[in-house]
């Protein structure tokens, strides 16, 4: 696939916007049919879905096309699946958490500005604060991380804007498995939906944004990254849980497309810091570069 | 004898069989029995669609399992005001099937398969209830309203799982042309099918 998207580009030009800025809604309406047919590639789809979440009119159009597409689906010859599949499914239900109806409604696109289910308890740190915010947000673990890596990199703590419900909507609402498997998607959704879920978003120096979603109850966390550069085949992003004892690898991830996410390996405990470094492909047992971002919890 | 048996159960005293929409609503509230019934009612249709896209039987099963787990997990999100339950389920199934066949590993197989396959709308050879056949005829009739080029693009996207860019490459036409055909084809289909849910 070429991945070129002249229509999206044209939409940008029509709107007088620079590349990377919001696309005109007209361009998205032109893509609604292709979206309903799943004929958009991963990047186009992600971009379209962001517009979809913000536009009830676009949503209506997609719904109408989805109904037509369902008629196409009915044309496929029914085939009974093997009986073993039903048994496997029923056995899986116990370990498959369900989305609560309330969370579903909160994450629905009709709500223009969903209220975070977990409001930030502390005042939003000043963006210019080199310390990264209040005493409460600079935990011992992050201090340890900074000692280890000399100085905190230029990451600026932005407003804790990404509401947990938005994350949940972005990940599970659209049924997007992304680069991860379905199991990971379920895990990510479970973290985001946890009653005690916390969400923090930081900007990354040089562009991009990282959101950490964590649940102390579940002992897990995940990151959603947006706008980080693709490192190519020779390098990878590596995640770290950092505490006073040092940095433990929590897995690697690569960026292809505008957005990706992953559930961290290992267990999350409140107070730990989560860092991301750029490492040689395959990852490193210990960080070899300064982190591009550290998120204190 | 002339009595119309609505639900095919053959027992006129039995309560009417719950609709797919009702079952999905109960699934959203954690009703396992409803999930089983929903599966029994819909799995041949979903599996049939998935099998059409994902030819490998084992992979098609995996995708089907993922789809039903997603249905179980997110049923509460289903909004009946936006469409009917089966359409929502088809949307989930089609998305997952397409994502599976777009994985790099499967791309070659798919190219071979599509190259060898008649791209027309599949002909359903299974004899079903009269109502379903009428519905099929209606959709087939609606598809006849599409131009040959529109039908080809829609079929390549929906039954072939190709992206619009891939369709453009395959047909050697500009991407903009494909977008136009997909959009006009779907508008025409929507119009021909009327305002239904």
* Segments making up each domain of chain B, as ranges: 15-103, 118-197
CA pseudo-torsion sign B43, B46, B50, B55: positive
Query: What value, to the nearest 5°, has the Cα angle with vertex A217 and ends A215 and A218?
Result: 70
Higher pLDDT, B68 or A290: B68
**Average pLDDT in the A282-289 region?**
86
Confidence of residue B132 (pLDDT cuts 50, 70, 90): low
Helix (H, G, I), strand (E, B) or coil at B91: helix
CB of A248 within 8 Å of a chain B CB? The answer is no
Helix (H, G, I), strand (E, B) or coil at B122: coil
Q: Minimal Cα–Cα distance from B149 to chain A, Å?
A: 15
Q: Is the pLDDT at A152 greater than 70, yes or no?
A: no
CA pseudo-torsion sign A23, A24, A30, A35: positive
CB A190 within 8 A of CB A267: no
Classify residue A19 by burial, with Cβ atoms within 10 Å: 0-12, 13-18, 19+.
Answer: exposed
CA pseudo-torsion sign B6, B10, B14, B19: negative
CB of B172 within 8 Å of a chain A CB? The answer is no
Ramachandran area for residue A283 (φ above 0: left; ψ -120 to 50: alpha; else beta): left
CB A231 within 8 A of CB A177: no
In the sheet where A246-253 sits, what is the strand order? Answer: A246-253, A235-243, A273-280, A293-296
Question: Would you state the pLDDT for residue A106?
Answer: 42
Q: Minimal Cα–Cα distance from B148 to chain A, Å?
A: 16
What's this model's pTM, rounded to 2 decimal places? 0.55
Q: Is the pLDDT at A82 greater than 60, yes or no?
A: yes
CA–CA dist B39, A89 (Å, integer): 9
State pLDDT tens for residues A270-283: 888 899 998 888 88
Q: Which residues in chain B are closer than 8 Å to A170, comparing Cβ atoms?
A: none
Confidence of residue A104 (pLDDT cuts 50, 70, 90): very low
Ramachandran area for residue A215 (φ above 0: left; ψ -120 to 50: alpha; else beta): beta
> Taking the CB of residue B158, how many other CB atoms lie within 10 A of it?
27
Count of positions (residues) in chain B: 197
Residues ≥6 apart with Cβ < 8 Å to A243:
A140, A141, A144, A269, A271, A272, A273
- Percentage of the residues of chain A whose pLDDT score is greater than 70: 62
**Average pLDDT in the B27-46 region?**
95
CA–CA dist A270, A216 (Å, integer): 6
B182 vs A3, A39, A63: nearest CB: A39
Higher pLDDT, A290 or B1: A290
Q: Which of B62, B36, B64, B68 is nearest to B48 (CA)?
A: B64
DSSP annotation string for A185-250: HHHHHHHHHSTT-EEEEEE-TTS-EEEEEEETTTTEEEEEEESPPP--SSEEEEEEEEETTEEEEE
| A59 phi and psi angles, rounded to 5 deg | -60, -45
Query: Which CATH code fits B15-103?
Result: 1.10.1740.10
- A130-144, A188-202, B40-54, range with the lowest pLDDT: A130-144
| A282 phi and psi angles, rounded to 5 deg | 95, -20
Query: What value, to the nearest 5°, has the Cα angle with vertex A36 and ends A31 and A39?
Result: 70
Q: Tokens 């923090």 belong to which residue?
A: A200
Q: Which residues in chain B are closer than 8 Å to A34, comparing Cβ atoms?
A: 157, 164, 179, 182-183
Averaged pLDDT score across all residues of chain A: 70
CB of B177 within 8 Å of a chain A CB? The answer is no
DSSP character for B76? G
Query: Which CATH code fits B118-197?
Result: 1.10.10.10
- A8-22, A152-166, B16-30, B176-190, range with the lowest pLDDT: A152-166
State pLDDT tens for residues B143-160: 888 888 999 999 999 998
Q: Is the pLDDT at A196 greater than 80, yes or no?
A: yes
Helix (H, G, I), strand (E, B) or coil at A293: strand
State pLDDT tens for residues B59-107: 899 999 999 999 999 999 898 888 899 999 999 999 999 998 887 545 5
Determine what percent of chain A falls in helix, strand and coil, rounding each to the nearest 5. 35, 20, 45
State pLDDT tens for residues A220-265: 898 888 888 888 888 888 999 988 888 889 988 888 666 677 889 8
Q: Which residues in chain B are closer than 8 Å to A70, comparing Cβ atoms?
A: 83-84, 86-87, 90-91
DSSP character for A169? I
Question: Would you state the pLDDT for residue A11?
Answer: 44
Averaged pLDDT score across all residues of chain B: 81
Do A97 and B73 count as a contact with CB atoms less than 8 A apart? yes
CA–CA dist A52, A58 (Å, integer): 6
Q: Which of A141, A142, A165 is nearest to A152 (CA)?
A: A142
Tell which B residues from 21 to 80 touch A, by Cβ distance under 8 Å: 28-30, 32, 35-36, 39-40, 43-45, 47-49, 51-52, 61, 64-66, 68-70, 72-77, 79
CB of B165 within 8 Å of a chain A CB? The answer is yes
Do A71 and B142 count as a contact with CB atoms less than 8 A apart? yes
CB of A94 within 8 Å of a chain B CB? The answer is no
- A59-73, A205-219, B153-167, range with the lowest pLDDT: A205-219
């Amino acid at each position: 696939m070429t991945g070129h998207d002249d229509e999206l580009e044209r939409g940008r030009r029509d709107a007088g916007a620079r590349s990377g800025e919001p696309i005109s809604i007209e361009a998205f309406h032109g893509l609604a049919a292709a979206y309903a047919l799943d004929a958009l590639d991963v990047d186009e789809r992600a971009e379209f879905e962001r517009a979809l979440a913000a536009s009830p009119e676009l949503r209506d159009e997609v719904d109408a096309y989805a109904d037509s597409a369902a008629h196409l689906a009915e044309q496929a010859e029914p085939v009974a699946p093997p009986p073993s599949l039903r048994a496997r499914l029923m056995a899986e239900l116990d370990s498959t958490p369900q989305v609560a109806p309330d969370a579903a409604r909160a994450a629905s696109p009709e709500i223009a500005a969903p209220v975070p289910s977990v409001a930030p308890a502390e005042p939003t740190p000043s963006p210019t604060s080199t310390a990264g915010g209040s005493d409460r947000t600079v935990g011992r673990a992050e201090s340890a991380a900074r000692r280890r890596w000399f100085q905190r990199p230029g990451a600026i703590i932005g407003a804790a804007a990404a509401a947990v419900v938005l994350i949940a909507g972005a990940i599970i609402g659209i049924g997007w498995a992304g680069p991860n498997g379905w199991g990971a998607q379920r895990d990510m959704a479970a973290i985001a939906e946890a009653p005690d879920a916390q969400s923090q978003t930081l900007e990354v120096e040089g562009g991009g944004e990282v959101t950490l979603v964590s649940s102390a109850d579940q002992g897990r966390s995940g990151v959603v990254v947006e706008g980080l550069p693709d490192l190519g085949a020779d390098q990878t992003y590596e995640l770290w849980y950092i505490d006073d004892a040092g940095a433990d690898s929590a897995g690697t991830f690569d960026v292809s497309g505008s957005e990706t996410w992953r559930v961290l390996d290992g267990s999350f405990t409140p107070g730990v810091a989560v860092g991301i470094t750029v490492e040689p492909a395959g990852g490193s047992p210990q960080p070899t570069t300064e982190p591009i971002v550290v998120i204190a919890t | 004898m002339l009595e119309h048996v609505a639900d095919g159960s053959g027992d006129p005293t039995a309560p009417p069989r719950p609709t797919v929409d009702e079952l999905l609503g109960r699934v959203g509230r954690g009703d396992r029995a409803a999930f089983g019934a929903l599966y029994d009612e819909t799995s041949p249709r979903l599996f049939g669609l998935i099998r059409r896209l994902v030819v490998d039987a084992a992979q098609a099963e995996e995708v089907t399992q993922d789809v039903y787990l997603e249905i179980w997990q997110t049923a509460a999100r289903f909004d009946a005001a936006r469409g009917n339950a089966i359409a929502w389920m088809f949307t989930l199934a089609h998305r997952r099937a397409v994502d599976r066949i777009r994985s790099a590993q499967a791309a070659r197989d798919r190219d071979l398969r599509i190259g060898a396959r008649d791209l027309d709308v599949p002909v359903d050879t299974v004899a079903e209830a009269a109502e379903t056949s009428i519905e099929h005829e209606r959709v087939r009739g609606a598809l006849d309203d599409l131009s040959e080029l529109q039908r080809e693009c829609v079929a390549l996207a929906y039954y072939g799982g190709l992206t619009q860019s891939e369709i453009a490459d395959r047909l050697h036409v500009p991407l903009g042309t494909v977008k136009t055909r997909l959009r006009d084809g779907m508008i025409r289909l929507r119009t021909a099918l009327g305002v239904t849910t």
